[in-house]
């Protein structure tokens, strides 16, 4: 494995959500490295490169089997070379593979091992911080990201470390409710990536993430601009297609939203995209197409043992949102909470409990979801419905009003539920909040 290939693979793995410019590029790299390890079975660098390539392939296709192939190759590399600074690359890729499989504690351990071997590269701190963030330890995640600094290497290498830090710290700012700070950091990350002439997909991911932050804060116009920027740079980028679909849906342009979700699913079939497309078809009134997408959600989620592990939260939310397998929704949410303690896992547990009629427990879970000051229309909607069911009209109105103030079209179905519930709270008439949610399904 040449130094150039190693640097490229390392950059791709550390760029969250990055994709190679073309699938065949990764396929060719896998084929080349597979031949090399067969010819030279003692080449630990080639095995490390093969593991990183399989990991990248998994990100391209959403096929979780590639993560296991990545871990197998990386394990072989570490069998050949461990406890040496040269092993830091394979250890870091192993940490990334564990992150992809939602093994957050193992990801953190491997990142720490990579740092401990003393290569001098601070990059493993990025994955250590990612693992801590998903485990809900936001303060220590911020401390880990603060270690992404270097006085060594070229200016480009230092800028790459800066990009890793700012793009991740942006998310922590958003969780903390500092939307403007989050957006400023991500704007800086986009500028850094562009100035460094990073691969197009890396810049596209940065534009997409900026779009997500704008959308979450209700700035739909700037969100659209960011998603379109990602697509201009990297046509067919599935994340940006799904982001633009949300924009179209929020404007009531459901036909355009459906077409965009179709393209995103054709590229990478994520269950949340199929669920969103099903909801769009429900809003249109096409129940047959909606059901096909809802069937696809479960198919993807149960496709393999690893899929069942990494899509617990998405399936729990899907079940709760659509009034099916409600007991299973709680089971899956609690299972996810065993390994992932971030605000969105607490939110999904709260919503699953609410749809099961357990609103007191739901309120307790919701307090954890809101404890960091996150300003998200979905969280506020869920909180509003929970407190409405608990007859706390003051809290319910406040949360539902915040949800609609952020984005009056935050969901093709539930935005109207929020408005109707507010009206019922004002007149003290109408069905219960749980029934309102059930009717919306």
Q: What is residue 84's predicted lDDT score, i.e. its pLDDT?
A: 87
d(CA 104, CA 98): 7
| pLDDT class of 40 with cuts at 50, 70, 90 | very high
The span from the first CA to the last CA of the chain, in angstroms, equals 53
What domains can be seen in the chain, in order of their start residue? 1-131 (1.25.40.10), 149-235 (1.25.40.10), 237-298 (1.25.40.10), 311-441 (1.25.40.10)
Count of beta carbons in the 10 Å neighbourhood of residue 424: 18
More confident residue, 306 or 349: 349
Give the mean model confidence (pLDDT) for residues 284-297: 95
* pLDDT of 155 strictly over 90: no
* pLDDT of 53 strictly over 90: yes
Q: What is residue 332's predicted lDDT score, i.e. its pLDDT?
A: 95
Q: What b/e string do you get for 383-396 counting C-beta neighbours within 10 Å, with b at 16 or more?
A: bbbbbbbbebeebb
Q: What is residue 118's predicted lDDT score, i.e. its pLDDT?
A: 81
Q: What is residue 154's predicted lDDT score, i.e. its pLDDT?
A: 74
Q: What is residue 206's predicted lDDT score, i.e. its pLDDT?
A: 95
Q: What are phi and psi of 383, to 5 degrees?
A: -60, -40
| Continuous H helices in 285-432 | 287-301, 305-310, 312-322, 326-337, 343-355, 359-369, 377-389, 393-406, 414-427
C-beta contacts of 414-417 below 8 A and 24+ residues apart:
414/321, 414/381, 414/440, 416/440, 417/381, 417/385
**DSSP secondary structure string, 141-167?**
HHHHHHT---SSS-HHHHHHHHHHHHH
pLDDT tens-digit map of 319-332: 999 999 999 999 99
More confident residue, 109 or 60: 109
Q: What is residue 12's predicted lDDT score, i.e. its pLDDT?
A: 43
More confident residue, 269 or 131: 131
* pLDDT of 352 strictly over 80: yes
Q: What is residue 3's predicted lDDT score, i.e. its pLDDT?
A: 38
- Residue 113 gets the label, from left (phi > 0), alpha (psi -120 to 50) or beta, of alpha
CB 132 within 8 A of CB 108: yes
pLDDT tens-digit map of 63-103: 788 999 999 999 999 999 887 899 999 999 999 999 999 99
Least confident of 143-147, 409-413, 435-439: 435-439
CB 220 within 8 A of CB 407: yes
* pLDDT of 429 strictly over 70: no
Instruction: For residue 87, give the DSSP letter.
Output: G
Query: Residue 411: which of 239, 280, 273 has the closest Cα?
Result: 280
d(CA 440, CA 59): 34
* pLDDT of 14 strictly over 70: no
Q: Residue 47: CA atoms inside 13 Å, Cβ hemisphere, count?
A: 24
| pLDDT class of 151 with cuts at 50, 70, 90 | low
Q: What is residue 245's predicted lDDT score, i.e. its pLDDT?
A: 98
pTM of the model: 0.88
What value does the mean pLDDT of the chain take?
89
Give the mean model confidence (pLDDT) for residues 333-359: 96
* pLDDT of 13 strictly over 50: no
* pLDDT of 156 strictly over 80: no
Give the mean model confidence (pLDDT) for residues 375-382: 97
Residues 6+ apart with CB under 8 A from 143: none
* pLDDT of 15 strictly over 80: no
Least confident of 172-176, 210-214, 423-427: 423-427
* pLDDT of 253 strictly over 80: yes
């Amino acid at each position: 494995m040449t130094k150039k290939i190693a640097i490229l693979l390392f950059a791709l793995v550390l760029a969250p959500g990055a994709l190679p410019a073309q699938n065949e590029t990764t396929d060719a790299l896998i084929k080349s490295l597979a031949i090399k390890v067969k010819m030279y079975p003692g080449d630990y660098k080639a095995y490390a490169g093969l593991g990183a390539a399989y990991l990248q392939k998994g990100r391209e296709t959403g096929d979780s089997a590639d993560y296991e192939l990545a871990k197998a190759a990386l394990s072989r590399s570490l069998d050949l070379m461990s406890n040496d600074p040269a092993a830091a690359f394979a250890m870091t890729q192993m940490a990334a593979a564990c992150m992809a499989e939602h093994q957050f504690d193992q990801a953190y351990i491997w990142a720490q091992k990579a740092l401990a071997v003393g290569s001098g590269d601070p990059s493993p701190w990025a994955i250590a911080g990612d693992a801590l963030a998903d485990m809900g330890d936001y303060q220590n995640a911020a401390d880990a990201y603060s270690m992404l600094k270097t006085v060594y290497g070229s200016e480009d290498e230092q800028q790459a470390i800066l990009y890793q830090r700012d793009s991740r710290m942006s998310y922590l700012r958003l969780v903390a409710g500092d939307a403007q700070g989050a957006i400023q950091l991500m704007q800086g990350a986009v500028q850094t990536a562009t100035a460094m002439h990073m691969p197009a997909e890396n810049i596209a991911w940065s534009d997409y993430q900026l779009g997500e932050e704008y959308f979450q804060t209700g700035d739909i116009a700037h969100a659209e601009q960011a998603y379109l920027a990602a697509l201009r740079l990297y046509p067919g980028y599935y994340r940006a297609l799904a982001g633009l679909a949300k924009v179209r849906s929020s404007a009531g342009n459901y036909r355009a939203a459906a077409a965009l979700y179709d393209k995103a699913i054709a590229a990478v079939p994520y269950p949340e995209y199929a669920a969103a497309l099903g909801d769009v078809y429900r809003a249109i009134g096409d129940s047959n197409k909606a059901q096909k997408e809802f069937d696809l959600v479960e198919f993807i989620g149960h496709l393999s043992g690893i899929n069942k592990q990494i899509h617990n939260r998405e399936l729990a939310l899907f079940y709760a949102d659509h009034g099916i397998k409600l007991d299973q929704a709680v089971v899956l949410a609690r299972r996810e909470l065993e390994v992932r303690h971030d605000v969105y896992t607490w939110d999904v547990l709260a919503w699953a409990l609410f749809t099961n009629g357990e609103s007191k427990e739901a309120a307790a879970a919701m307090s954890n979801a809101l404890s960091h000051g996150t300003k998200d229309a979905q969280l506020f909607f869920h909180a509003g419905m929970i407190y409405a069911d608990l007859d706390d009209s003051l809290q319910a109105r406040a949360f539902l009003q915040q949800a609609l103030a952020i984005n009056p079209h935050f969901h093709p179905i539930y935005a109207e539920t929020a408005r109707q519930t507010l009206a019922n709270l004002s007149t003290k008439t109408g069905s219960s909040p749980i029934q309102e949610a059930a009717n919306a399904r």
